[in-house]
Chain A
Amino acid sequence: MKQTLAILKRELGGYFATPVAYVFIVIFLLLSGFFTFQLGDFYGDGNGQASLTGFFNWHPWLYLFLIPALTMRLWAEERKQGTIELLMTLPITLPQAVLGKFLASWVFAGVALALTFPIWITVNYLGDPDNGTIVAGYLGSLLMAGGFLAIGACVSAITKNQVIAFVLSVSLSLAFLLTGFPPVIALFSGWAPQPVVEVIASFSFFTHFDGLSKGLLELRDLVFFASLITLALFANALVLELKKAD
Chain B
Amino acid sequence: MNKKNLSLLGLALAIVLFFAVNITANATLRAVRVDLTEDKVYTLDEGSKAIAKNIDEPIHLYFYCSRSAASDYPQVLEYADRILGILREYERASGGNLELTVIDPEPFSEEEDRAVEQGIQGAPLPSGDPLYFGLLGTNATGAKEAIPFFSLDEDKQRTLEYDLSKVLWTLAHPDKKKVGILTAMPLEGGGGNPMMGQQGEPRWAFLDQLGDFFEVEVLPGSSDTIDASVDILMVVHPRGFSDATLYLIDQWALAGKPLLVFVDPQCDVDAGQSDDPSNPMSRFTAKKDSNLESLFQAWGFELAKNKIACDKALGVLQDVPSQDRRTSARIPLVFVPRLTEKELDREDPITRLLTNILLWTPGSLKQLADGATTFTPILQTSEESQEVDSMQFQFQAQPRELLASFVPGFEKLTLAARVTGNVKSAFPGGKPGAAPEGETPSAEGEPKTGGLSESSAPLNLVAFADVDMLHDRLWMQELGRLPGGQVLVKPISENVDLLKNAIESVSGGKELMSIRMRGKTSRPFERVQEIQRDADQRLLARQQELERKVQDAERRLGELQKAKSEGSEELVTADQRKEREKVREEFVQARRDLRDVEHSRRQDTERLGTTLKVLNIAIVPILVCIVAVGLGAARIKRRTRK
**A93 close to chain B: CB less than 8 A:** no
The residue in chain A whose Cβ has the minimal distance to the Cβ of B610 is A43
**B407 close to chain A: CB less than 8 A:** no
A33-B7 Cα distance, complex, nearest whole Å: 44
Q: How many residues of A contact B (CB 8 A)?
A: 72
Q: Is there contact, CB below 8 Å, between B37 and A133?
A: yes
Shortest C-beta distance, A14 to chain B (Å), equals 13
**A84 close to chain B: CB less than 8 A:** no
Shortest C-beta distance, B71 to chain A (Å), equals 5
**In the complex, which of the residues A203, A214, A216 has the most CB atoms of chain B within 10 Å of its own CB atom?**
A216
Q: Is there contact, CB below 8 Å, between A194 and B38?
A: no
Q: A115-B624, A194-B67 are in contact. Are A127 and B526 (CB under 8 A)?
A: yes
Q: Which residues of A contact B608 (CB under 8 A)?
A: 46
Shortest C-beta distance, A110 to chain B (Å), equals 15
B-contacting residues, A15-41, CB 8 Å: 16-17, 19, 22, 25-26, 29-30, 33-34, 36-37
Q: Is there contact, CB below 8 Å, between A218 and B30?
A: yes
A203-B22 Cα distance, complex, nearest whole Å: 8
**B108 close to chain A: CB less than 8 A:** no
**B439 close to chain A: CB less than 8 A:** no
Q: Is there contact, CB below 8 Å, between B613 and A220?
A: no
Q: Is there contact, CB below 8 Å, between A25 and B7?
A: no
A51-B30 Cα distance, complex, nearest whole Å: 26
Q: Which residues of B contact A48 (CB under 8 A)?
A: 525
Q: A234-B14, A238-B10 are in contact. Are A217 and B33 (CB under 8 A)?
A: yes
Kindly specify which of A62-70, A99-107, A221-229 makes contact with the partner chain: A221-229
**A54 close to chain B: CB less than 8 A:** no
The answer, among B7, B78, B528, for a CB contact under 8 Å with A238, is B7
Q: A122-B612, A223-B25, A231-B18 are in contact. Are A218 and B33 (CB under 8 A)?
A: yes
Give per-residue flags for A203-217: 1 if the beta carbon is below 8 A from chain B beta carbons, else 0: 100110011001111
The answer, among A30, A198, A220, A224, for a CB contact under 8 Å with B617, is A30
Q: Is there contact, CB below 8 Å, between B36 and A135?
A: yes
Q: Which residues of A contact B72 (CB under 8 A)?
A: 182, 185-186, 189
Q: Is there contact, CB below 8 Å, between B38 and A131?
A: yes
**A136 close to chain B: CB less than 8 A:** yes
A-contacting residues, B589-642, CB 8 Å: 602, 605-606, 608-609, 612-613, 615-621, 624-625, 627-628, 631-632, 635
The answer, among A22, A33, A185, A245, for a CB contact under 8 Å with B624, is A22
Q: Which residues of B contact A95 (CB under 8 A)?
A: none
Shortest C-beta distance, A57 to chain B (Å), equals 13
The residue in chain B whose Cβ has the minimal distance to the Cβ of A21 is B628
Q: Which residues of B contact A132 (CB under 8 A)?
A: 36-38
Q: Is there contact, CB below 8 Å, between B73 and A182?
A: yes
**B100 close to chain A: CB less than 8 A:** no
**B68 close to chain A: CB less than 8 A:** yes
5 contacts between A and B (CB under 8 A): A29-B624, A37-B617, A46-B608, A50-B525, A230-B18
What are the 6 tightest A-B residue pairs by CB atom distance, in nearest-first order?
A33-B617, A46-B528, A215-B37, A219-B32, A22-B628, A136-B36
| Extra A-B contacts (12), CB below 8 Å, given A122-B615, A126-B526, A189-B68 | A25-B624, A46-B525, A46-B528, A49-B524, A115-B620, A133-B36, A136-B36, A180-B74, A201-B74, A227-B22, A231-B14, A238-B7
